[in-house]
Each structure stands twice: as structure tokens, then as C-alpha cells.
Structure 1
């Protein structure tokens, strides 16, 4: 399609001078969904983006010069990597979510103990089944009265290994904020169970990912394929934002679900904007 300017729609999109690069990827994705880029299939594999971008720009924009051709190809290549990466990230997170915590799985047990070591480096666990897990916010329900302690593994139901890995990522790579969240969780008035809250927020960010609400954030902030670490980073940012939102409300724990729902509504307003970037978001901008 030729525009009034003499440019094709693809050329117009790929030569936009915008601060939020996610707008370009969003429009490229729209062209793909509408079948406006006949060379490209709905799905393609990693490593094919440069070849695809070269063929598409050459076919759809045959009159551009060599320098502009290279610039447009590189922009399109980036967009294609982001689009494919988002789809693959959705698949990977679902696979992790569906992997249930198994107490007989040695790796699962090691990862759970790793979480304790990261959050409570100065306190050793007395046993695998112990009330100590409640200190980092597990509900840790007893299955039977014969158990000598509580098992935190029961809290992972629904979010599986995904939620455990996100809590570990927070505790390992965002140490200061993890300890700040743990401290807030033990506040005598405004405290909340940290681990269980984290599992709830894993459910939130997973839902945002699956309904494509995180697309603009990833398209604006990643230079190529969004990775699982990028997704874990989103979890960390959302947890920090939730804590700030929670503190502003000065709530009682019985209102947790209502406040979480309000938080999600405010978060969606930001994520739906073309400027979506969770790294720059402050709850002070929330209504």
C-alpha cells in the first residue's frame, strides 16, 4: 500500500522517529496479523529474523537506498525477534507453571532451601518441615497432626515451579528490595505473608503476559527477544510497586484481595499506554 507520501505502509512504520520503539513493533505485528507481509509466515524460528527482514524490506520497499535499506532491515529484525520472543516466553512460563512442586524431586527441594538461605542467611532451618517457613511468608499447612512441622510446598499449588523461581530471582538478584519487602511483611500493622503474596503476584504477571498486557513493556524495553529473566524482572518490579501501593493504603490484611484488585486496575492503565515501561513507573502516578 502506497501512502500519500509515496512510501509504503511498512516503510512509513520502519522509518518512524519515535522514543517508544514498542510502537513500531506493535504496528509490524499488526501487519503480520492482517496478512500484509505475504512473505512471512505466522510462526518462524529463532535465527530466521535477519533473512526474513532482508526479504521483506527488499520486496515491500524496493526503491529505498542501501543505507536506508540496512536501517529498515535492522529495525524490522528487532521487531520480529521481539514478536517471536514474546510468544515463546508465553509458552515457557506456562510450562514452568504447570510443573508442580514435587517434594520427591531433589532439584525442587534444593531450590526451596535456596530461597530460605537467600532470605534468611543468618538463620538455619531446624528441619525441612518447620514453622520457621512462616517467617518468610508461607502459610505452610500441616497435612496431618502426625507431622512435626509445616510444609511450604503446599502454597505453590496453581503457580507451580514458576512462582518458586520468581521468588528466588527476587531474593538473589534484587537483594536490597527483597530484604525490604521481607521487613515490610513483618510490620506489626501493615504486614503480609511475603511468599504467599509473591505467589499471588506471579499469578498476576502470568495473567498479564498471557493476555498480551506486557507486550508494550517488553517491546519498549528489550532490544531483541524477551527472556525468562526479563519476565522475572517484571515480577520484581511489580512486587516493589505493590509494596509501595500497599503502604500508601495503610491497610489491614483482610482487605488484601480488594487492594490487589485496585493495584491491578491501576497497573493495567499504565501497561495499555504506548509508553509502558515498568522500570519507570511510580505508584505516585496512580489515581
Structure 2
């Protein structure tokens, strides 16, 4: 009954609910100021005026008093112009120095927040970033062993295939060599799948074998979907954007302070949400990206709820089974 209630709650949440529309000025917009163009026009005009005035003086049509007045005004104008250049140049330099460029994956209109990390958050975020920076290396013995471990967790009673075998397709890899599918999520996406299998084996089993609900004739591939979920979470949480992050990223940092494995746990929740939304919308393979986006929206909404102090407080966490 609890699981059904949660499913209804997920279905009722509007996927297209609007985000904060406070857009930030991009780097190109900030630096695209026509100051140089204006200065060039001003300089040309001053030069023409100077030459005309100088010629007038040479011809004797102006008096000595006017000559001194002219040179005094020219000096004042020159220094005012110089000071303006210094001020504008300094302002532009400050903007360029302090402006943080937005990441390529930022959603247009999504508000970004400057945050100050406490020592524990900084340490754990640093560890997480080190993990996500590790690509899958098919030549690494540790990475090969991790891939074999995933097979044993998925098919404990079956013989372990070679690292290149058509049997890997049964797990949801796109080809006979799983190492070619890790580009989006790196080695951490394999760690996430192993974490799901070890900590929520029942959910892992049901997701892998598509045991819940009425399935589509053309299902999403389990393993590749897992890699895409890792990539989606990295984007959603702005894990590579320095000290300016999305609202979801700032909420997540509080949860990371409570549990160092918050990312892996959130991954498990995300996978479960994705499968439920897949069933609710009766989606097929070609609609996978749409379901992944709606999964992201659902996670963002749950992270923003009041009273969420850990991943286990998220409503969808209750859908996972050990």
C-alpha cells in the first residue's frame, strides 16, 4: 500500500512545473560592451577638433587668451578621458576575474547559488569529484575486476564471460564490449551499479530483470540506463562547477555532509523513479531521454522539500527494497 501511495504521488507531481527564471548574464554578454567603439569615435572627434583649433591659432584668428583657454580645456579633456579609461578598464577586469562561467550543461534560466563549504563538505565533495574524474580504463585490472563483480552480482549462478562477449548484451550493454559504454559516466557509473546491487539487491534484481509492471516490447537497456543516470546526476548537482551551483546542488551538499555515500544512494533512488515513470507513462526505448528528464525534475522537487536532512527522507527512497 505504501509503495502504491508513493507511485501516485510521483505521478501527480507536474513534470513541467516551472523553474526559477532568474537568468544570469553570460561571460560573452558581460564582456560585449561597446566601450572601445565609443572611445575610438571620441578620439577621432577630438583629433579633428584639435587639428582645426590648432590651424585657427596658427592663422592668427584667435587671441593669446583663447589659445591658453584651449590648451587648458584640452588638458582637462585628456585627463578626464584617461581616468574614464582606467575606471572602465578596472570594472571590466573585476568582472572577468570574479565572473564564473556557466557550465555547458546548465539549464537556461536555472538560478545558480554561491555557497561556502564547511571543512567536512569540502572534503567529501573533493572525494566525490575525484571519483567522477576517473574514466573507465579497460586496461586497468581494478576496473576489469569491478566489471566481473557486477556480473557475479547480476548472475550469481552463471559462468563469468570474457570481458568481450555477446553475453554482456543481456545486462543491457550496447555491444559485446561494455567498456565502450562508460564515456558519459566514467568508472563511477560502474561503482554506482555495484552499490545498487550490494545495498538494495532486491531492487537491483527487479530493475535488471524488469519484473515490475507491464513492460514495453522495446525496453530500455538496464546497464546503459545506469550510466546515463550517473551522468544526469552529475549535471543536476553541478558537481564540477566550483563554488556556484544550482539549488539542487546546494541541497545535495547538506545531505552529503550527513552521509558520504549520499550520491550513490541518490543514484539508487533515481533508478527506481526512472523505472516507475517508465511504467506509468508506458514509454518505449525512443522515449528514454524524456523519462530521464522527468526523473530529474522529480528528484529536484524532492530535494527541495522541507524536512529533508538525508537521502532516506526523500519520499521515493521508500520505493527501494533491500
| TM-score, structure 1 normalization | 0.60
Deviation at 1:243, TM superposition (A): 1.2
The 5 A counterparts of 1:44-63 are: none
Q: Give the match's secondary structure for 2:174.
A: coil
1: CA distance, partners of 2:211 / 2:149:
20
Higher mean alpha-carbon deviation, 162-171 vs 97-106, is at 97-106
Q: Structure 1 residues 85 and 134, CA, compared in 2 at 3 Å: closer, same or farther?
A: farther
Deviation at 1:91, TM superposition (A): 2.4
1: CA distance, partners of 2:211 / 2:136:
24
Deviation at 1:138, TM superposition (A): 0.9
1:172 aligns with 2:198: yes
Q: Which residue of the partner structure matches residue 91 of structure 2?
A: none
Deviation at 1:207, TM superposition (A): 2.2
Q: Which residue of the partner structure matches residue 266 of structure 1?
A: 298
Higher mean alpha-carbon deviation, 183-192 vs 163-172, is at 183-192
Q: Deviations over 1:205-244 (max 9, x none)?
A: 222332351543563x67x5531x2221111111112111
Q: Deviations over 1:69-108 (max 9, x none)?
A: xxxxxxxxxxx9x843333333222222221111221111
1:136 aligns with 2:171: yes
1: CA distance, partners of 2:316 / 2:184:
29
2: CA distance, partners of 1:179 / 1:134:
16
Q: Structure 1 residues 159 and 269, CA, compared in 2 at 3 Å: closer, same or farther?
A: same
Deviation at 1:198, TM superposition (A): 0.6
Larger radius of gyration: 2
1: CA distance, partners of 2:276 / 2:162:
34
Q: Which residue of the other structure, out of 168, 176, 181, is the alignment partner of 1:155?
A: 181
Q: Which residue of the partner structure matches residue 199 of structure 1?
A: 227
Deviation at 1:274, TM superposition (A): 2.9
1:91 aligns with 2:126: yes
2: CA distance, partners of 1:94 / 1:172:
22
Q: Structure 1 residues 232 and 282, CA, compared in 2 at 3 Å: closer, same or farther?
A: closer
Q: Structure 1 residues 86 and 190, CA, compared in 2 at 3 Å: closer, same or farther?
A: farther
1:234 aligns with 2:283: no
Q: Which residue of the partner structure matches residue 54 of structure 2?
A: none
2: CA distance, partners of 1:139 / 1:185:
21
Q: Is the 8 A contact 1:216 1:274 kept in 2?
A: no
Specify every segment of 5 or more residues in structure 1 that has no aligned partner in the other structure, as ranges.
Answer: 1-79, 141-149
Count of aligned positions: 192
Q: Give the match's secondary structure for 1:157.
A: coil
2: CA distance, partners of 1:84 / 1:204:
26
Deviation at 1:135, TM superposition (A): 1.1
Q: Give the match's secondary structure for 1:139.
A: coil
Q: Deviations over 1:108-156 (max 9, x none)?
A: 100110001001112113322101111111112xxxxxxxxx2101111
Q: Which residue of the other structure, out of 179, 199, 216, is the alignment partner of 2:251?
A: 216
Q: Is the 8 A contact 1:86 1:215 kept in 2?
A: no
Q: Is the 8 A contact 1:155 1:196 kept in 2?
A: yes
Q: Give the match's secondary structure for 1:171.
A: helix
Q: Is the 8 A contact 1:97 1:159 kept in 2?
A: yes
Indicate the RMSD between aligned Cα atoms, in angstroms. Answer: 2.7
Q: Is the 8 A contact 2:274 2:291 kept in 1?
A: no
